[in-house]
Amino acid sequence: MVAVCLVDHLCCVTVFCFLQRLSGPQDAGDTESTLNILNVLDELLSAGTDRRIHYMISKGGSESLLMALLNTAQNVPPNYTLLLPILHLLAKVGHRDRRIGVKAEKAEAVLVMLGLLRQNLKDARRAAACLWVIQVFCASVSTATLLGKNRGLDIVFRLIPAHTTKHIRTVKAAIDALAALLRSKVNCRTAVSKGYISGLLKLFADWHSNDTEREHIPIQRALLHCLDHATNTSVGRSALVAEGGIELLFQTTQTCMFTRGMECLVEPAVQLMRKCYPKCALSLSSDQSVYSFPLPGKPLNPWDFVPTSQGDAFEDDSDSDNDNDDENEDAENKDYEDDLETDLESLRQRPQPDRPLEQLGQYVRLCPELHHDFQELASGSESEESSDEDSLLNGDKGDRWARSGRRSSRRHRGSAQTPSSRATRKGHPSSVSNGGGHTTPEEEEEEEQKMKAKDLHSQCLRSHEEGHRSMVDRLLERFGACIPHHDPRLYAAAAASTRSIAGYSILAFPDFWGHLPTKGSECMAVRRPNVQRQKVLQDIQRFLCPEDIINKVVFDMEDPSPQCSSDHKDSLRFFSKFECGNLRKAVQVRRFEYDLILNADVNTSRHHQWFYFEVSGMMANVPYRFNIINCEKSNSQFNYGMQPVLYSVREALEGRPRWVRTGSEICYYRNHFQPTRCERSSCFYTLTFTVTFKHDEDVCYLAYHYPYTYSSLQAHLQMLQRSVDPRKVFFRQQNLCNTLAGNPCPLITITACPTSRSWKSLYQLRNRPCVVLTARVHPGESNASWVMKGSLEFLCSSDPLAQSLREAFIFKIIPMLNPDGVINGTHRCSLSGEDLNRQWNKPDPALSPTIYHAKGFLYYLNSIGRTPLVFCDYHGHSRKKNVFLYGCSVKETLWQSGSSVDTSTLKEDPGYRTIPKTLDRIAPAFSFNSCNYLVEKSRASTARVVVWREIGVLRAYTMESTYNGCDQGIYQGMQMGTWELEEMGAKFCQSLLTLRKSTMLYDSKVISHMSLLDDSPLDHKSHNCFVDDEPPCVEEIEYHSPLTSDPPGKDLDSEVNANMYSSAEDEDKDKDGDKQSPRCRRNRSNDLKSHLFPPLCRPDSLESL
């Protein structure tokens, strides 16, 4: 290693000496010595890596070569024996010098170079050398513009002939030089005005059709590269479309895909077609959400709520990395360095409360355990008799469910019965009451016909009429239902009191009937090679063959008439006007293909990601393609194995009521659609997937992720309260506040009841530390609700660990911070059009009531000396796999930001790492190495940072759960289901026991479980949190052509070397020479090295080095 470094040092010193010699004036008699210097420089710089070249550049090597070029070119006529090696060396060095164009302008060498090219248009060897130098000069846009203004475009374009077998190297150099010139948008516009787009297309077609031996594929690639640069302006793209470029490229692609050796042309051609596909506004009356809501103190003007910048338009989930930064290579450094808080005082100082202490008294009622007298302990009263709903929890669930499944199976065998997928909602009391009495045969026949119908809005809406039993009762009577902690009657009752903007009157069947977790984890989808290319080509065919496109609106939230009239057998039927639903418009493109448009968040025109809709009228075993065409994020886990979820009503009534992952040929890529307002910086992405339904005329539901509605939460809380023993479990549901729409935001208190009313027992209860859990501040993160469901059910269970947790802590749980957003099917915002997880710093009591009162409650706990021991906000993450935590640490933030503060002298309690470490041992889906504890400026108003900084909670976390699955441990390669999410919620609660081990007394059952919290690490192979989870997608999501990122260095070096070692005779035999492979050329180059400048260069001059 030392020897290598010494050789490099000596070489660099030699290079420096030669540079000084080159930069001086050259006499006619110095030709031999100058050639020797150039030869030695070339040998030195060609060996090893680019280190020597960069050293040469740093020492003024580019400037020296430019001076040598000027000194040699000023002779009349120029000495080409000397000039050619200078040009070759300048080309090699120049493409590694990013400022070579600026340096050439400063040295006034640009126009000199163009003049040399004019003088040597008929000498292929010299012209190639001049073209390479011009190409590297164009690394500077200003240099390219200067050349264009001096007719450089015309000169270079004339050097590109139709298909030929002569001077191929020079032709390739001319095309590459033209592509470099077209980096300037001024030159692009000039090229369009002079018809060069048409000329380039004709050249490409000519070379493609006449290159029957497939010998000149690089020429065709270079022409595509040229077209790629020429279409960097809108006029260039329009010109390519007008000249039939898309048709030509499409035909070329079809040929190349099935021709060996031409596959390399397919991807750049496809990317070029995507780039030039004419932009099209979404077929909407407005970008604004269909739903609007009048806000206190603000006029009802939809555009008042549109963000003025794209700052939060593409924010990623919760307080994680900003998704818009994906498009910037330096974004990650920005997130973890520029965005990190570096002010030590800001990190340490606790701000003053945002409200007077007198206002905190209103939260006394939210701590009932501190004031409850527990009279029932003294009276020894038994628990209340269980209601009808309780029998669902205490009966033989498995047998009842099996019987109902067998009954339904028998009834549906051999028939196409499909009961209505929706039941009546509020305004129809009979829908939630028990039906009574006997029915006549005629009534039975009428009901049987109703149960067979495919789409029964009318029957559902008529179910309140006198003499008709409710749809709820008829479904339960016929099929039965027994899903743990779920009762359809309770759900219907809860839904009847839920307030929505649209006044929903229909229930989605999956939410009403319930969901059982899938048996076993589902594998991530395997992406078929080139599936995106196939989908993009199908999209391009829409433009080329518009007569084949149906383009029929089959569902529109703003205009119900298409849905009412879509009884055609050739069309699917869609519906989304139910709680949590989101589908704004459906357009039938082809017989089995549909474009779907999502609705924006209420009072905004953005945040399109969450979808949940009903589809019916399908044929079995037919692949249907669905395209969601107005997604906003620049990448998605759908590119890495994630699938949407599907619920089949037919399957549910046959005993399999569950959401399942579904879809094949899934990909996510940028499309040609744009908002109706045509904002310059806005663009959309397509999520496309194919679904093959199992049953004819089924009613199915498709969703982004497992839905969990507000009404489901309300019904679930009622079931939980009835399931616990009130003598052992203190369970209270209270209303934190009402939302903007008037829906109550529940706050749950769970702890263990004292063993007696003795002073000691009550004292122990009232001195238990608090744990505060929140979830679903972002409505589209339904996985957070499933994790919360797991936490709630575990804390209410009879598990010994759960009992220990209740005896150790008082749990304050707000399971849904944004009920309005969840109800109305938004993705990120509340009805105010704002991200509630960015309002914690100074929440507005009128616009963000749930955040205002949640923060006020935390202030109250802090004011009475009961600051929470742990605060955790449950979220979902759309860009990463696994489950992980974000926390807060002063030392780690300062260290990561590169602050000058000496972190070794700072004292900080490392307890914030205790829970993540425990979870890494006990939770299969958890990834410790994906966690981080950095405090970012852009997250200063999130729950995690505000609770840590203002309330003083050391263990303030955001827990992120993936929408996709895991890439580690026992769940590696599997997608997360509701069972795994609920398990994660239970595991988080279990991890809290490590905080109280030293002060708790355990019974024998608990002791046997505690070893899990200390050892038995799982087989985790986690990720570094500073590295993106996913590699670049196997196919380009954006429009960037691969040719634009191809490194020109090696290709250019090999071409230059071949030109250096060729003679005039070789040029005359160029046809034969260019048939040789590059490998053969390199071998020939090595053989010719000994003959390089034979009369002038002595072999011993190289041997001495």
Q: What amino acid positions are annotated as catalytic residues?
A: 960
Give the residue from 946, 952, 916 showing the smallest Cα distance to 932: 916
Distance (Å, whole) CA 2 – CA 120? 47
> Exposed (0-12), middle (13-18) or buried (19+): which is 1062, by Cβ within 10 Å?
buried
User: Would residue 446 be called left, alpha or beta, if left means φ above 0 and alpha means ψ between -120 and 50 degrees?
Assistant: alpha
The tokens for 1087 are 């053989």
Strand, coil or helix: 125? helix
Q: H or E element: which one contains 555? A: strand 552-556
The tally of CA atoms less than 13 A away on the side-chain side of residue 202 is 10
Distance (Å, whole) CA 141 – CA 143? 5
User: How big is the CA angle at 180 (ends 179 and 182), to the nearest 5 degrees?
Assistant: 65
Going by DSSP bridges, is the β-strand pair 280-281/673-674 parallel, antiparallel, or unpaired?
A: parallel
Distance (Å, whole) CA 255 – CA 819? 54
Going by DSSP bridges, is the β-strand pair 744-752/729-738 parallel, antiparallel, or unpaired?
A: antiparallel
Cβ atoms 525, 642 nearer than 8 A: yes
Cβ atoms 229, 144 nearer than 8 A: no
The tokens for 270 are 């496809």
Give the residue from 651, 623, 648 showing the smallest Cα distance to 700: 648
Strand, coil or helix: 1028? coil
Any long-range contacts for 448-455 (C-beta under 8 Å, 24+ apart)? 450/420, 451/417, 451/419, 451/420, 451/478, 452/415, 452/416, 452/417, 452/418, 452/419, 453/418, 453/420, 454/418, 454/616, 454/617, 454/697, 454/699, 455/420, 455/573, 455/616, 455/617, 455/699
User: Would residue 969 be called left, alpha or beta, if left means φ above 0 and alpha means ψ between -120 and 50 degrees?
Assistant: left
The tokens for 382 are 């038994």
Cβ atoms 997, 1011 nearer than 8 A: no
CA distances from 175 to 116, 148, 234 (A): 18, 15, 22
Give the residue from 219, 220, 218, 233 showing the smallest Cα distance to 183: 233
The tally of CA atoms less than 13 A away on the side-chain side of residue 341 is 24
Q: H or E element: which one contains 613? A: strand 612-616
Q: Phi and psi (nearest 5°) for 744?
A: -70, 140
Q: H or E element: which one contains 990? A: helix 978-991
Distance (Å, whole) CA 1093 – CA 1089? 9
Cβ atoms 796, 750 nearer than 8 A: yes
Residues 6+ apart with CB under 8 A from 514: 481, 483, 486, 488, 491, 657
Strand, coil or helix: 710? helix
Distance (Å, whole) CA 1025 – CA 928? 9
- The CB density around residue 530, as the number of other CB atoms within 10 Å, is 18
Cβ atoms 78, 116 nearer than 8 A: yes
**Which residues are paired to 745 by β-bridges?**
737
Strand, coil or helix: 251? helix
